Amino acid sequence: MNEQMKRALALGRMDRRSFMAAALGAGFTLSAASLMASEALASEPKQGGTLRVGFQQGATSDSMDPATFNNDFMFALGYAVFNSLIELGPDGSAKPDLVEHFEATPDAKVWTFRLFDGVKFSDGKPLTSRDVIATLNHHMGENSKSGVKPLLTQIAEMKADGDTTVVFTLSEGNADFPYIFNDYHLGIRPAQADGTIDPMTMIGSGGYTVESFEPGVRAVLKRRGDYWKPKRAFIDTVEIIAIADATARMNALITGEVDLIDRPDLKTIHLLKRNKDIKIHTQDGTMHYVLPMFSDVAPFTDNNVRMALKYAIDREEIVSKVLKGYGSVGNDQPIAPSMPFYKADLPQRAYDADKAKYYLKQSGLTSLDVDLHTADASFNGAVDASVLFSESAKAAGINIKVVREPDDGYWSNVWLKKPFCTSYWGGRPTPDLMFSSAYTPGADWNESHFDNARFNELLVKARSELDQARRAEMYGEMQAIVSDEGSTIIPAFGQYVSAMNKRVQIPDGVTQMWNLDGQRFIERWWVA
């Protein structure tokens, strides 16, 4: 019995009687054939049911203002309620969401986006180009603190060409420009009479409406009966619950309190694997764990100190003991092997206490005392990883005091506030978007305050370079600069791991960018 026959049954190309006959003819028992038929039929999307989700992240400071979105709870909620112009396909390519068609001039400097006709917000008003412009202006304003603002500064002009077309003129050509609009900040909101949006609105064009929202606690979403997209938004009711503690999340799944959890405790994930009603879902991709150091705050102003710390961390130990093999070692630069222009020949940095001592001596120091602020809210196992780092660094004369912070409020009170902390990035679909978000001077999410003249020059040049070989050279050099001169330690890339009961159904292909199908699972998945 092959997968093609199961798929044929699921798609209605074969009836159940024919499937059973074929299975019995292939030597399967009646019970086995019946089970396979049931599994096959469950794999075809169907409407209805309830999905309860337990998320590690979520904070009492959360807001519906898209400029403030900074955790998975809000990302998933946002994608369910508000459509984007673009979404990512399983192959990582930019696919239309609200946009029917997009094209650029040969120099990639002028981009034209045509919206689908007939799209309506949940209050019945039609979506127009005016709504797109109002939404983007919210993130581009002079006083905006939006995490996506640095990616939008390249827009020199945007204008509506009728109700369904938006034309963007960029300051320089950008072959990757459409990818920006998959960003979780950029769900389209309706424009008000004055051309602005109400950032707290819950009116969107997505498949779900918000029935209730308690920041940092829970949200309840209801499927729209008039959703404009065919074959999307299958689940009737979705409840998102913030459960910060990994053990509590896993227990909630085991007891049936929730149907799906993200970030199970990898140390005890084997307990879930033993449960016949639970399945584990893993995604390779671009997620990486980071320890950013403020490059403009002593002692991290000295690259020798930064290099000492980079050699003082045992990356293999973190992958083995913290990630339990669900990941791979990192090399202090954020471009994953799966991404375009990855520099495969960059020498891998390994733990070396003697080299750490050497760089420490080059800085004029014989020992170093630093505080590392952390919480498991930054990533599963962050506290354990920090402790391991503290232990491995001792051999180099580096004393790392691990400061455990509260999970609640970590992203608003610690990240971007403390000069040395733990963090993670889900990555971005292209090197330009990754570097522009986290390594550009003045970017709100430049968590290490990185500022390198050569890197800054290359970033602008590579973005507008249309020769792919030349682009590869420039992005390769940028990866080397960040690895050797950057103020961020990147010890590991991690797989996205989630767990769910077997009623939760996943399409054949999922997006590798961010967890749970790019956090679009509420619209794309279904329950059997």
Q: Do domains 50-55+206-284+496-527 and 288-494 have the same CATH topology?
A: no
Spacing of C-alpha 303 from chain mean position: 29
Backbone angles phi, psi at 170, to 5 degrees: -95, 155
- Predicted pLDDT at 4: 54
pLDDT of residue 5: 55
Residue 87 structure tokens: 């979404």
Buried b (16+ CB within 10 A) or exposed e, 157-173: ebeeeeebbbebebeeb
Q: What digits encode the pLDDT tens for the residues 192-217?
A: 999 999 999 999 999 999 999 999 99
Ramachandran area for residue 106 (φ above 0: left; ψ -120 to 50: alpha; else beta): alpha
Tens digits of pLDDT across the chain (528 residues): 555 555 445 444 455 666 666 766 666 666 566 666 555 555 689 999 999 999 999 999 999 999 999 899 999 999 999 999 999 998 888 999 999 999 999 999 999 999 999 999 999 999 999 999 999 999 998 889 898 998 899 999 999 999 999 999 999 999 899 999 999 999 999 999 999 999 999 999 999 999 999 999 999 999 999 999 988 999 999 999 999 999 999 999 999 999 999 999 999 999 999 999 999 999 888 999 999 999 999 999 999 999 999 999 999 999 999 999 999 999 999 999 888 899 999 999 999 999 999 999 999 999 999 999 999 989 989 999 999 999 999 999 999 999 999 998 999 999 999 999 999 998 888 999 999 999 999 888 999 999 999 999 999 999 888 889 999 999 999 999 999 999 999 999 999 999 999 999 999 889 888 899 999 999 999 999
Q: Which two tokens stand for residue 250?
A: 């896993």
* Structure confidence at residue 13 (pLDDT): 46
Task: Fold for 50-55+206-284+496-527, please state it.
Answer: D-Maltodextrin-Binding Protein; domain 2 (3.40.190)
Whether the upstream peptide bond of residue 199 has omega within 30° of 0, thus cis, is no
Amino acid code (one letter) for 148: V
In this structure, what token pair is assigned to residue 430? 């292209």
Structure tokens at 293: 């150091």
Kindly list the domain boundaries of the chain, sorted by start residue.
3-42, 50-55+206-284+496-527, 83-182, 288-494
What are φ and ψ of residue 499, in 5° steps?
-140, 150
pLDDT digits (tens, 9 = 90+) for 390-408: 999 999 999 999 999 999 8
Give the domain 83-182 fold: Dipeptide-binding Protein; domain 1 (3.90.76)
How far, in whole angstroms, is CA 462 from its chain's centroid? 23
Calpha distance 433→78 (Å, rounded): 20
187/183 Cα distance (integer angstroms)? 8
414: CB partners within 8 A, 6+ apart: 373, 375, 378, 405, 421
Question: What pLDDT, on a 0 to 100 scale, did the predictor assign at position 141?
Answer: 83
The alpha carbon dihedral of 303, 304, 306, 311 has a sign of positive
Please name the amino acid found at residue 387: V
Cα–Cα distance, 106 to 111 (Å, whole number): 10
Query: Rounded to two decimals, what is the model's pTM?
Result: 0.80
Two tokens, residue 266: 């990898």
Identify which of 205, 191, 201 has the alpha carbon closest to the alpha carbon of residue 115.
205
Calpha distance 86→75 (Å, rounded)? 15
- What's the length of the chain? 528
Contact 189, 203 (CB under 8 A): yes
Please check whether the domain covering 288-494 is classified as CATH 3.10.105.10: yes
